[in-house]
Protein backbone atom coordinates (compact mmCIF):
# COMPACT_ATOMS: atom_id res chain seq x y z
CA UNK A 1 0.00 0.00 0.00
CA UNK A 2 1.13 3.54 -0.76
CA UNK A 3 0.60 5.94 2.14
CA UNK A 4 2.33 8.96 0.57
CA UNK A 5 -0.91 10.58 -0.61
CA UNK A 6 -2.53 10.39 2.81
CA UNK A 7 0.67 11.52 4.53
CA UNK A 8 1.10 14.49 2.15
CA UNK A 9 -2.55 15.43 2.72
CA UNK A 10 -2.16 15.31 6.51
CA UNK A 11 1.07 17.31 6.44
CA UNK A 12 -0.54 19.85 4.07
CA UNK A 13 -3.39 20.23 6.54
CA UNK A 14 -0.87 20.87 9.34
CA UNK A 15 1.13 23.37 7.28
CA UNK A 16 -1.99 25.35 6.42
CA UNK A 17 -3.00 25.28 10.08
CA UNK A 18 0.41 26.53 11.15
CA UNK A 19 0.27 29.45 8.74
CA UNK A 20 -3.00 30.72 10.26
CA UNK A 21 -1.35 31.96 13.50
CA UNK A 22 1.68 33.20 11.49
CA UNK A 23 -0.66 35.53 9.59
CA UNK A 24 -2.50 36.68 12.73
CA UNK A 25 0.64 37.31 14.80
CA UNK A 26 2.55 38.74 11.85
CA UNK A 27 -0.16 41.31 11.13
CA UNK A 28 -0.52 42.10 14.85
CA UNK A 29 3.19 42.79 15.43
CA UNK A 30 4.31 44.08 12.01
CA UNK A 31 1.16 45.16 10.16
CA UNK A 32 0.83 44.38 6.46
CA UNK A 33 4.56 45.08 6.01
CA UNK A 34 5.09 41.40 6.88
CA UNK A 35 3.90 40.40 3.40
CA UNK A 36 7.50 40.61 2.18
CA UNK A 37 8.51 37.82 4.56
CA UNK A 38 5.75 35.60 3.19
CA UNK A 39 6.90 36.38 -0.38
CA UNK A 40 10.54 35.57 0.36
CA UNK A 41 9.55 32.37 2.18
CA UNK A 42 7.28 31.36 -0.71
CA UNK A 43 10.00 31.88 -3.28
CA UNK A 44 12.58 30.13 -1.12
CA UNK A 45 10.41 27.08 -0.46
CA UNK A 46 9.44 27.00 -4.14
CA UNK A 47 13.06 26.94 -5.30
CA UNK A 48 13.88 24.32 -2.67
CA UNK A 49 10.94 22.21 -3.88
CA UNK A 50 12.27 22.34 -7.44
CA UNK A 51 15.77 21.30 -6.36
CA UNK A 52 14.70 18.43 -4.08
CA UNK A 53 15.05 15.01 -5.73
CA UNK A 54 12.44 13.33 -3.51
CA UNK A 55 8.91 13.66 -4.83
CA UNK A 56 7.50 13.39 -1.30
CA UNK A 57 9.62 16.24 0.12
CA UNK A 58 9.20 18.31 -3.03
CA UNK A 59 5.42 18.10 -2.57
CA UNK A 60 5.70 19.14 1.09
CA UNK A 61 7.95 22.08 0.19
CA UNK A 62 5.60 23.06 -2.64
CA UNK A 63 2.65 23.12 -0.26
CA UNK A 64 4.69 25.24 2.15
CA UNK A 65 5.62 27.59 -0.70
CA UNK A 66 2.05 28.16 -1.80
CA UNK A 67 0.86 28.46 1.79
CA UNK A 68 3.37 31.30 2.11
CA UNK A 69 1.99 32.95 -1.01
CA UNK A 70 -1.55 32.55 0.31
CA UNK A 71 -0.36 34.17 3.55
CA UNK A 72 0.31 37.39 1.61
CA UNK A 73 -3.36 37.72 0.72
CA UNK A 74 -4.43 36.68 4.20
CA UNK A 75 -2.32 39.40 5.86
CA UNK A 76 -4.33 42.03 4.01
CA UNK A 77 -7.57 40.23 4.86
CA UNK A 78 -6.45 40.08 8.49
CA UNK A 79 -6.01 43.85 8.47
CA UNK A 80 -9.65 44.14 7.42
CA UNK A 81 -10.75 41.69 10.12
CA UNK A 82 -8.93 43.84 12.68
CA UNK A 83 -10.61 46.99 11.34
CA UNK A 84 -14.00 45.29 11.72
CA UNK A 85 -13.16 44.44 15.32
CA UNK A 86 -13.07 40.68 14.83
CA UNK A 87 -9.45 40.51 16.06
CA UNK A 88 -7.62 42.80 18.52
CA UNK A 89 -5.55 45.63 17.15
CA UNK A 90 -2.03 46.20 18.41
CA UNK A 91 -2.24 49.35 20.55
CA UNK A 92 1.39 50.19 19.74
CA UNK A 93 0.70 50.62 16.01
CA UNK A 94 0.06 54.00 14.52
CA UNK A 95 -3.45 54.47 13.17
CA UNK A 96 -2.57 54.82 9.50
CA UNK A 97 -3.31 53.07 6.23
CA UNK A 98 -0.09 51.02 6.25
CA UNK A 99 -0.86 49.03 9.42
Decide if 90 is inside a domain. Answer: no
* Total domains present in the chain: 1
Residue 95 has a pLDDT of: 62
Residue 73's Cα: distance from chain center in Å? 9
**pLDDT of 58 over the 60 cut:** yes
- Calculated CA dihedral for residues 14, 74, 49, 16, nearest 10 degrees: 10
Averaged pLDDT, 55-64: 97
Q: Tell me the residue range of the domain where 16 lies.
A: 4-83
pLDDT tier at 1 (50, 70, 90 boundaries)?
confident
Q: Which residue has the higher pLDDT, 96 or 55?
A: 55
The structure's pTM equals 0.87
Give the integer Cα–Cα distance in Å for 80 and 71.
Answer: 14
Decide if 73 is inside a domain. Answer: yes
pLDDT tier at 86 (50, 70, 90 boundaries)?
very high
List of residues 6+ apart from 52 with CB closer than 8 A: 58, 61
Burial (CB < 10 A; 0-12, 13-18, 19+), residue 32, is middle
Amino acid sequence: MNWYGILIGAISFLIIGIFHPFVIKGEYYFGVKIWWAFLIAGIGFGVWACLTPSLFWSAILGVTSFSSFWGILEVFHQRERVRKGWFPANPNHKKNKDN
